[in-house]
């Protein structure tokens, strides 16, 4: 495994750099490359750390001794949020509510209710321990934001229901064609 870095410059002078975690393998006598992950969103320090770890992959214990203040931290949990979000997208819930902040807040309320039943306050606390804001591309919120969002839902209820109905009709038509 290695980090493959490439920089492309456009005619206007802009440059774009991408970092990919890749591995090489042979297939029918030819060397091929497989991309494992796109690391382009990582900071230069994170890229350097990955390169260092890959360079010492057989001696990782030595890397721990490089810094005595190394701490391991548990990141936000993403599995349940991503899974339920994918189902909500497939059912048309995400599309029906829209991509605005006002539409994303009720999407989180639906996801939170599926993941762990509770109050709006518990939905806010759940979002703090899960990658809710990352998955939904949403800025932080509190229970007041969720309560005030109920007005937006009431005002847009008919439009949301119509959108969900149209999505359901489209699915039934596809099922009938098969």
pTM of the model: 0.55
Q: What is the DSSP secondary structure assignment for residue 178, as one 8-state letter?
A: -
* Predicted pLDDT of residue 157: 94
CA gap 41, 22 in Å, rounded: 16
Question: Could you list the residue range(s) of the whole structural domain that residue 33 is in?
Answer: 2-59
CA gap 25, 43 in Å, rounded: 28
Give a yes or no: residue 118 inside a domain: yes
Give a yes or no: residue 108 inside a domain: yes
* Predicted pLDDT of residue 167: 85
Most confident of 55-59, 63-67, 129-133: 129-133
Instruction: Summarize pLDDT for 68-104 with one digit per residue, the tens.
Output: 666 667 778 888 999 999 999 999 999 999 999 999 9
Q: Is the pLDDT of residue 159 over 90?
A: yes
* Predicted pLDDT of residue 161: 93
Judge if 172 and 140 occupy the same domain: yes
Give a yes or no: residue 70 inside a domain: no
Residue partners of 104: CB distance under 8 A and separation at least 6: 97, 136, 137, 138
Judge if 129 and 93 occupy the same domain: yes
* Predicted pLDDT of residue 142: 94
Judge if 88 and 172 occupy the same domain: yes
Judge if 85 and 55 occupy the same domain: no
């Amino acid at each position: 495994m290695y980090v493959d870095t490439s920089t492309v410059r456009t005619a206007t002078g802009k440059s774009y750099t991408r970092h990919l975690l890749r591995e090489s393998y042979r297939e029918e006598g030819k060397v091929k490359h497989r991309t494992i992950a796109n690391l382009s969103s990582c900071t230069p320090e994170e890229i350097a750390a990955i390169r260092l770890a890959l360079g010492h992959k057989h001696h990782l214990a030595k890397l721990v001794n490089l810094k005595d203040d190394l701490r391991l931290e548990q990141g936000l949990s993403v599995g349940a949020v991503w899974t339920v979000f994918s189902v909500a997208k497939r059912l048309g819930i995400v599309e029906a509510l829209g991509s605005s902040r006002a539409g994303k807040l009720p999407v989180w309320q639906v996801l939170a209710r599926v993941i762990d039943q509770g109050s709006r306050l518990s939905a806010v606390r759940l979002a703090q321990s899960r990658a809710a804001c990352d998955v939904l591309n949403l800025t932080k919120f509190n229970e007041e934001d969720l309560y005030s969002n109920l007005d937006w839902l009431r005002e847009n209820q008919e439009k949301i229901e119509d959108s969900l109905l149209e999505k359901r009709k489209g699915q039934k038509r596809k099922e009938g064609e098969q």
